[in-house]
Structures are given as C-alpha cells and as structure tokens.
Structure 1
Amino acid sequence: MTGPGRFGIDWRGRARHLLLGGAVSLATVLATAALSAWPAWQSLPPGEAVLRLSFSHSGARNCRDRTEDELAKLPPNMRDAQICDRRRAPVRIEMDIDGQPVLAADLAPSGLAGSGPSRVYHRFELPAGRYKVDLRMRDDPAVAGFTQEATFDIDLVPAQSQAIDFDASAGRFFLH
C-alpha cells in the first residue's frame, strides 16, 4: 500500500517528527524522575520525633429552664423547655510533658457567633525516648477543676509522628 494510510495520514513523512517527539517526552519523564528524588529532604533532624495535639471540641452552652409563663406565651411548636445562648464556652487545655508545662491555653469557639467548636493544633519536636504526657481539659466553666484528664506513657522512636486526639462521644483522649 503506497500513499496515505487507512486514515489518510502519510506516516512515512512524519517519522522524523514522531522520533523527535518521543525523545523529548522520554527526556522529560527521566528528568522529572531524577528531580523528584533530589534534593534529599528530611522533615526532622536525626533522632527527633513529633508529638501532636490536635482536636476539635465544643464547649458547653449556658442554658436555663423556661418558666411556665414563658412557655405559655410561645406557639406550641416552639415550646422548648430550655433556652440556650448561641455562644459556646471556651475550652481550657493544659499539657505537661515529664512534669513540665508545655501548653496552657483557652481556646475560643470558632465561627462568627462563637457557636462552633474550639480547635487546637500544637506540634512538639522531641528527642526520641520515653515521655509521660499529662492532659487536662475543661469545656464547662461552671465546673470546678477539669472535666477530662488523661495520662499517657509514650515511647517515641526517631522520625515517629504520634498524635493525641479527643473523642467527644467517649469523653476521653486517645493516641493514634
């Protein structure tokens, strides 16, 4: 078969362009592969590990019971027994590592009206080794002291990333 191929394209005249395009594509792929492994980058110095405290938690709302007169004045479909402020209380968090305070903060609620959860993210770079971590949190200012407390014995190995989170449904801190 001479002349144009099945689709009307004369491939014989385009062989040089196809070879050049293939060579440029191969060079681009090889350069990308070489540069993806260079320079060598390490996020932590040798012998270091990371401990992260990261969670979202909603503080308590200030609520009160409605009186019988208040309930009687409302339409039947709006007769909630309690009325609550929209704004949530700040969450107090304290953290000690081996008995030394490393974090003490009042976390404001998020959102324009202060009705969202309080969020915390702190990263601690530590030498690899064994640590005792104490956590205390208060999410209700009406309660004296702390509402949740936890102690963890953590053994960090070099380059490890250990996270501490809070599960509101279980009411406890946990590691992952």
Structure 2
Amino acid sequence: MAETVNPVPGRLVRYGAQGVLYALFAAFIGWFSSAPAYRHLDEGQALLRISFRHPGKTVADCRTRSAEELAKLLPHLRAEQDCGRERSPVRIRVEIDGELLHDEVVPPAGLRRDGASSTYRRIPIAAGEHRLKVLVNDDRRVEGFNHQGERSVTLSPGQVVLVDFVADKGGVIIR
C-alpha cells in the first residue's frame, strides 16, 4: 500500500517564506521613501531658476522679389516676399548685486536654426536681500541687449525666484 503525503506542511512553509520576503521588500521600500534625506538646497540658500523658450528675431529682413524672379518660380511658389527662416540666438545675462552670475548664449533649435531658443538653469544663491538684473538680446543685429528686467528681491532660505521671458508681457519677468 502506498502512503499519501500531506501537502499542507509544504504549503505553509512556502507561503510563510513568501510572506517574510514580501515584508522585507515592503520594509526596504519604506526605508528608501524617507531615508536617506534629500536636501534641495544647502542651509541659508535660495534658488534662482532661469526658464524660458523664446524664438529670436530673424537674422535677415524680408526682401521683395522682382517680376523676373517671380516668373522663374513655379506658380504655387510665387510669394512676393522672400523671407529667411534662420533665427538669432538668444543671449541672457544675469547679474546679482552688480556682479555677473550667469551669461549664456542659447542657439535656436532645429536643423535650419529656425526654432525657439530654450534654456533651463538652477542656480543656488545666498538667501537675503539682492538686486537682480536680467539682460536679454534676441536680435543678432543689435549690439548689447534689447530687453532688460531689474528687481530687488528679499529671499528666505529655500525660496525660489523665477526668471522668464514672455514677449507679450513686456519681455523679462522676475517673480
């Protein structure tokens, strides 16, 4: 006569081991959700965030095509104005309390350099009262800077100041 083996003790061991492993995994995840502690900024620091997307001015002005030039073109391509698509790079300069903090030239996106210039920078600065000056040039043909924003800010530790550029709202925005 063959003896039958009771499968219940094997199942209990297997389910028990599985429960212990799940508990260890949950403890591991729980520990990493709160430790090690992440520090956004050092003590006594605030954050200057530069974030914008802006298409620079076109590099060249449009020109009017002559009648001979228009005649040589296919009918569906006969636009009177010939306008280049290439855009100027955007230069941004940030000064804090009269000293240079950041200076960058952001090239236009795209294979034909006809897209918007985009940048995102996080710059830790000391908390306290500062005079912030932001200069932007979005036209290669202009010497110096053609947009400016200036503001006094009092920053507490951990506070974030955003520098943006919105042409419809006057250019440089500091908030």
Q: TM-score range by the shorter chain?
A: 0.7 to 0.9
- Quick one: which of 25, 36, 39 aligns to 2:22? 25
Q: TM-score, normalised by structure 1?
A: 0.79
Cα 1:131–1:17 change in 2 (3 A) is same
**Cα separation, partners in 2 of 1:73 and 1:11, compared to 1, 3 Å:** farther
Could you list the runs of 5+ residues in structure 2 that have no partner in the other structure? 1-6
- Bigger mean CA deviation after superposition, 57-66 or 46-55: 57-66
**RMSD over equivalenced CA pairs, Å:** 2.4
Determine if contact 1:97/1:134 at 8 Å carries over to the other structure. yes
| Map of 1:67 onto structure 2 | 65
One-letter identity of the residue aligned with 1:166: F
After superposition, the Cα gap between the structure-2 partners of 1:107 and 1:27, relative to the gap in structure 1 and judged at 3 Å, is: closer
Q: State the partner residue of 2:165.
A: 166
Tell me the TM-score normalized by structure 2.
0.79
Distance 1:154 1:82 in 2: 47
Show the 5 A alignment for 1:1-176: 14-61=11-58, 62-69=60-67, 70-143=69-142, 145-175=144-174
Counterpart contact for 1:63–1:82, Cα < 8 Å: no
Report SS of the residue matched to 1:87.
Answer: coil
Name whichever structure is richer in strand by fraction: 1
Where does structure 1 lack aligned partners over 5 or more consecutive residues? 1-9
Do 1:49 and 1:161's aligned partners in 2 also have CA atoms closer than 8 Å? yes
Across the two proteins, how many residue pairs are aligned to each other? 167
Cα distance in 2, alignment partners of residues 123 and 35 from structure 1:
26
